[in-house]
Structure 1
Amino acid sequence: MVPSGKGNRMIVLHAGSRDKGLIDGCELVFEAKKSSGDYHQEMNGGVFMDWMEHQLLPNLDQPTVIVMDNASYHNVREPGSITPTMSSLKKTMQDFLTSCGVHYRPADTKIQLMEKIHINRKPIQYTADELAAQHGHVVLRSPVRHCELNPMELIWANCKGFVARNNSTFKLSHVKELIHASFGRITSEVWQTAEDHVLDIERKYRQRDGVDISVVAPVVIQVHEDTDSDSDSD
């Protein structure tokens, strides 16, 4: 009998490219400590940044555009770029204004402080972007709720399909073996097929919207730290 889907789960992180398929040394597979609840408690910014610094970046042998979606753990902000909100403590708001050299009265309300903060808010800086730039790379985030524009979604579907078809024991140790076996199937040709599919979708979107990228100025969309992608539920 096939289990209902409840029980322990595996968390998987990897990276790939057109010329290599999945990149050697970038795999991270570990068992979630909890069998239910939000997996972001374990797949979080700390885990992702550690993986990026010690596994991804050392295995990129040339300047690279690193494509990410807008999962919250991708969008950890640099401490100096975090701007207080109305839910912040009043002292936090005051300290922010002090760091900006902005005068305020101790008796100012949070609304009055927020008016000054809004004028002096700092541009968002993401830790992943800063880390990538230090090594000569650049981060490109796919549009919010457009996971179809990331080739990795098709790669995950390929891997998960392989695991599902070959999972005969439903034991976590066997699932982990199957996950690593699925990685070996993602050759450069498989990745190229996924990437070409995404490029075809991009072309169709541009044709539908009448966009000529040769004359369109770049647009930067600032995404809040808690923004997530459609694929986070996978």
Structure 2
Amino acid sequence: MAHENGHRIVRLPPYHCQYYPIELIWEQVKKYVAKKKYFTMANLKSLLQGVLQQVSKENWSNTVKHVRNLRRKNCELDDAAEHTLINLLDSFIINIGSSDDDDDDEDDDDNEIETDI
């Protein structure tokens, strides 16, 4: 239904509110209300309605662009970290069990960990 109406569905990871544009807009609204030191619960609804009407298309567009850039940067960092981790893991050789070496080393141990690092 969304696709039929020209919309695209973007799946976002749960518990990462920095990727949700609505959360960033809501943060701006809350900051605006917090700056209004003298408001009552009676006028809070009208204050919120007023500030929500001030959220422009440009503000939404900028927030969406910010989130896209943040997600792109974080994906690049994740890819780099994964690549580094894979390279590190490829350089490790772990032998567990008895050794076939006939060396008479004093600290000959059944569990060896060798690295290229």
TM bracket, shorter-chain basis = 0.5 to 0.7
Q: Which runs of 5+ in 1 are unaligned?
A: 1-56, 66-137, 212-234
- Report the equivalent of 1:152: 22
TM-score normalized by the length of structure 2:
0.57
Tell me how far apart the structure 2 counterparts of residues 194 and 209 of structure 1 sit (CA, whole Å).
22
> What residue is the counterpart of 1:64 in the other structure?
7
Partner in structure 1 of residue 35 of structure 2:
165
Does 2:37 match 1:174? no
Give the structure with the higher percent helix.
2
Using the alignment, how far apart are the partners of 1:182 and 1:165 within structure 2? 12
Match for 2:71 among 189, 198, 202?
Answer: 202
- Runs ≥4 residues deviating over 3 A: none
Structure number with larger C-alpha Rg: 2
Q: Secondary structure at the match of 2:48?
A: helix
Q: CA deviation at 1:141?
A: 3.9
**Structure 2 gap segments, 5+ residues each:** 81-117
Q: State the identity %.
A: 27
* TM-score normalised per structure 1: 0.30
CA distances 1:25-59 after superposition (whole Å, capped 9, x unpaired): xxxxxxxxxxxxxxxxxxxxxxxxxxxxxxxx9xx
Q: Compute the RMSD of aligned alpha carbons.
A: 2.1
Contact 1:167 1:178 in 2 (8 A): no
Deviations 1:101-150 (A, max 9, x none): xxxxxxxxxxxxxxxxxxxxxxxxxxxxxxxxxxxxx5x44212111111
Change (3 A) 1:208 1:179: same
Decide whether the 8 Å contact of 1:163 with 1:178 is kept in 2.
yes
- The equivalent of 1:225 in structure 2 is none
Instruction: State the secondary structure of the residue aligned to 1:210.
Output: helix
Q: Of the two structures, which has the highest relative contact order with CA contacts closer than 8 Å and spacing of 6 or more?
A: 1
Quick one: structure 1 residues 178 and 164, their matched pair in 2 at CA, closer, same or farther if it must change by over 3 Å? Answer: same
1:167 CA displacement: 4.4
| Contact 1:149–1:201 (Cα < 8 Å) also in 2 | yes
Partner residue of 1:185? 54
